[in-house]
Chain A
Amino acid sequence: MKHRSSSEQHPAKNPRIPAEVASTSATDGMEDKTPPNPRELTQNPLKKIWMPYKNGLPEKHISQRKVCMTNCPTLIVTVGLPARGKTYISKKLTRYLNWIGVSTKEFNVGQYRREFVKIYKSFEFFRPDNEEGLKIRQQCASAALNDVRYYLTEEGGQVAVFDATNTTRERRETIIQFAEQNGFKVFFVESVCEDPDVIQENIVQVKLGSPDYTNCNTEDAVQDFMKRIKCYENSYETLDEVLDRDLSFIKIMDVGQRYLVNRVLDHIQSRIVYYLMNIHITPRSIYLCRHGESDLNVKGRIGGDSGLTPRGKEFAKKLSQFIQKQKISDLKVWTSQMKRTIQTAEALSVPYEQWKVLNEIDAGVCEEMMYEEIQENYPLEFALRDQDKYRYRYPKGESYEDLVQRLEPVIMELERQENVLVICHQAVMRCLLAYFLDKTAEELPYLKCSLHTVLKLTPVAYGCKVESISLNVEAVDTHRERPENVEVSRMSEEALLTVPAHL
């Protein structure tokens, strides 16, 4: 090894640290002793993560950057009168947290009550002087908290969302004590709203369809529900900036016009606050589609940056007509930075934004290969991918898990926006779709996102309505199902069984 003084470096201009510290470190570093057994590193074959190992086994010394870096689980507690959107928020937040990789589950006390009291008669159950009712409701809350404890301590859950009215300080105090005993952090999410129109709309959207009101006509149901709300009003103690100054909470006022945020303790609470401040309930639709069929698609090759085939261009034209017919107000159009999505957007003749993070999954060394070539050149990789398609990372490439992380800002902005058309790619579209339709990590990489098909997503009640619209332009199938045999030792034919036809 040649040593030239010019290649040594010494930042003479910059101030050195105080002598005592410098000498300690310098002497230590200069001693010619071998470092105390630096641990060997091995790269996990599935995720391509470097980790230390001993005696051939990986050691658990390191941690992957996960969202929930706190060791203690978090208990999110909703607060608010009926019909204030607590369950809507609970379900949405749970869906978001699970999507970004934080194991979350919601516990709806109303659900427990319905299981206990098989038939709902009327609002009288909720009257504050109905002792029997109160006892049952308390039992249900306890049962739910018990399940929360089990989920967070035995089932590896990281966040539990305790969805109930929790409108009195007394009730909240009970929960706080429960959390303290079990070492959970508590974060309250209160929804306050006095706008009668919003409340009415809530009731119509989600209460009328509730099991409580299946045999009720609309007017009676609404009347009963209003009386139900009244039962809570007198004892309602809203979160107070003085009385509750030591608690961690966010108070959402008037469906997001205003927020009061108190004592955010950690990263996950900060992310939750950011998410809650970006969601809205204004009606709108999100359109997801892939680029038109590309030259590489037709050849059965993955990745790359090719242009559209004639059929792909035909799709782009049909897409333009479709969009125009939909008569969408203020439509935003987003594409990736790859030629095929941009070419597709160009046909729409409207302004569009390019997002690099919408680029297709990076297949690393497998870019532009056919599945047959991957099987031939990297049979081990091909098998590992079939074993865990969500976590599998291509060598020098990405995994679906990586994709989700880079798509998070897209989801956040989609939440902020109203009508949007996202022209993207197969793996990307699967990730976005999984978020909206609450699909698990196992299902996500196998969601069907065919070429030349637009998915129109419209939020409704607690979920999302999906309309699949094929624009009637032929295209190759690029969907490869999971083959039966995912063993590393399998034969080529077994591996290639589910590869779709191509040129």
Chain B
Amino acid sequence: MSSPTSTPSRKRGRASNPSTPGSEGPLSPPSQRARSQDASQGELPPMPTSPATDICSPNPQDTSLFSSPRRSVLPSEVDASSPLLYGTPSSRVEGTPRSGIRGTPARQRPDLGSVRKAPQVDLHSEPPAGENAVASDQAAGQRLVIWGTDVNVGTCKEKFQRFLQRFIDTTSKEDENCGLDLNEPLYMQKLDEISVVGEPVLNVNCGHVQSFDADMYRQLICYPQEVIPTFDMAVNELFFERYPDSILGHQIQVRPYNALKTRNMRSLNPEDIDQLITISGMVIRNSQLIPEMQEAFFRCQVCAFSARVEVDRGRIAEPAVCRNCNTTHSLALMHNRSLFSDKQMIKLQESPEDMPAGQTPHTTVVYAHNDLVDKVQPGDRINITGIYRAAPMRVNPRQSQVKAVYKTHIDVIHFRKTDERRLHGLDDENEQKLFTEERVQTLRELAGKPDVYERLSSALAPSIYEHEDIKKGILLQLFGGTRKDFSQTGRGNFRAEVNILLCGDPGTSKSQLLQYVFNLVPRGQYTSGKGSSAVGLTAYVMKDPETRQLVLQTGALVLSDNGICCIDEFDKMSDSTRSVLHEVMEQQTLSIAKAGIICQLNARTSVLAAANPVESQWNPKKTTIENIQLPHTLLSRFDLIFLMLDPQDEAYDRRLAHHLVALYYKGEEQIEEEYLDMAVLKDYIAYARTYIVPRLCEEASQALIEAYVDMRKIGSGRGMVSAYPRQLESLIRLAEAHAKVRFSEKVETIDVEEAKRLHREALKQSATDPRTGLVDITILTTGMSATARKRKEEIAQALKKMIQAKGKTPAMKYQQLFDDLRAQSEAAITKDLFDEALRALADEDYLTVTGKTVRLL
């Protein structure tokens, strides 16, 4: 009954083969079959076979398999099919030209069918029936299906080939498809790639399959164990038809991914067992590589006769009697001639975003096989596609009692790192949060409202009273600008993140605002300037206790890449710590050179910092710089600097009191009604950040130019510069962020208007010269207002005049000079001012100051 058509590439093992240990299971790797066939069958003429139709149904009459002509053609090659070849490579015939489907060894796929016993073995408990069914498949006219499923191998194969040949996805955005012509059949191009690169793996997006043929998709999800081998067959047939001369390591394996069945580890349930699932999570632990025995090699101690035994469900049936010399118990296991395959256990933990509040994350065991071993590291965020399995646990091998519990795991077929792109710099898409249609609808509806900007900003930290502009600023920060890449022209990336500094009196709920933001954004970090060191912010190198290797541990700034880093008590940070922020806040990277590790990490983080004034209370007579004592180099990197001051006016007090009292007595529901839900806000931001990429329109550009020129003009009247290109960049970012708030793909004039307004408000607060009451950007860029500089100049000149008026006195008393100047000048002259004037004159080489005396030169 073993027609050749039914046999060939069936080396995909079947987990659920109930065949008795005596008969050789269908798991037998090709090498074994080849050999035993060599021994038993001798040379059979190669037959032109149409490759297998049946690959799945278990076949107890295994011996008949060995008549498969295809094995006999190139017996030596099949050795290579074992992934971990501990056998004898010398047996390989060198130089045999190898091509075509029959020449390429197939490779076991322990990920599909493993030696473990699946619980639903009953599906295949009557394998002969299955065999018959499929064997007579062609004769019966494509009506029969694999036992226990509704999969018809022939149809399925045909469908899949059609899919490969015809599927076109013009909207593909996946990065691995870059370089492919989107208007040509996608997978044919991939096959082409395989023939060039020689990596015999074809990744198939289940989403594509679904859109092409929903029925095939359903079959794939429900019976992956049967369907994937069919796919393999189909693709190999197709491939070797097109590229008959290509040489591959083994036959092409199809790896489906992105099965939409399950997204969340928490939603796995018993119905998913033995189905194809995709879940996301984070790797928390990798086991060591486990060589799993596939085939045991026994040799008789007496006559050196060798025997091979398949591992069946984790056990080896040791032959008691040597078949050659009939000695009992003479066979010994030869480890180095047995066949092993690689296997690794990976522990996957639910990603923190998927977890409901107040619960602990779940973990799942995942097994990786062969080349998927060591593909992921602990800490990686991955999507895995695989088959969910469950097996009963035995309490004690000698007892019949069984713990009434199944152990579950996933045999992985495909890994996909979700955070991989962050390294490549193509980003934001990794936050592929899936939005349901309705959600998108509600969000779009919300975006359509004319007052969406106000609504969102008032939804931000509703427990904090007023500070409308600050909330608006933070809102724009949450959305961020559009990322622009000028690396071709050598400028590198333009910063898209908005940085904000809040300074002000203690007790104005700055920390609360920071806490709120930190809780709102998915990738936020919260640190306190007091408690963090430079390494805590950047990265440090430590020795991994387990592997004894040096590993780079990243700090808050790197961790909040694409998020917001909230730094409280910014002023209390040590200077060295603060200095690392310079690079991060403009270049958005972090360079590290320590312990032999030199690298540049992405730190595209927005900084939201809060600082207290030095004198604990804000001194309105001083400039921002003087109040918070931060280097102006750093200050100029903040797009918006807000002052949170206690306004001290009655109407405000009244509103504040009302707000606070309401906070304490209003019911939960009342509050909810008034404000947007935090979850909506979160989604809104996530959606806008992912999907909205606003560009400047012509009018907006003009408006920006005008705004910038205006800003420059303000100062030029008084002979000073009041705006720098950095301010223009800030304006652009803010305008883009505002467009994002509106879900608009174009930056329009209203966006520019708002950006201008906000920028002006912030400047008004932070860059107002307390002496003149005018906005003066130089306070932030040089740390000193233009008037202050002018004043310094004047005093120096007055002093010079005074000294000159005194006539020829080579040396003067410091104190006397000070008193004289004070007496002469109308304005009050502080000692600081006097010192500065002296210094200025000393710089002119007019005089020197030594101790308490001033000498003329």
A, B assembled together: no
Chain B residues with CB under 8 Å of chain A are none
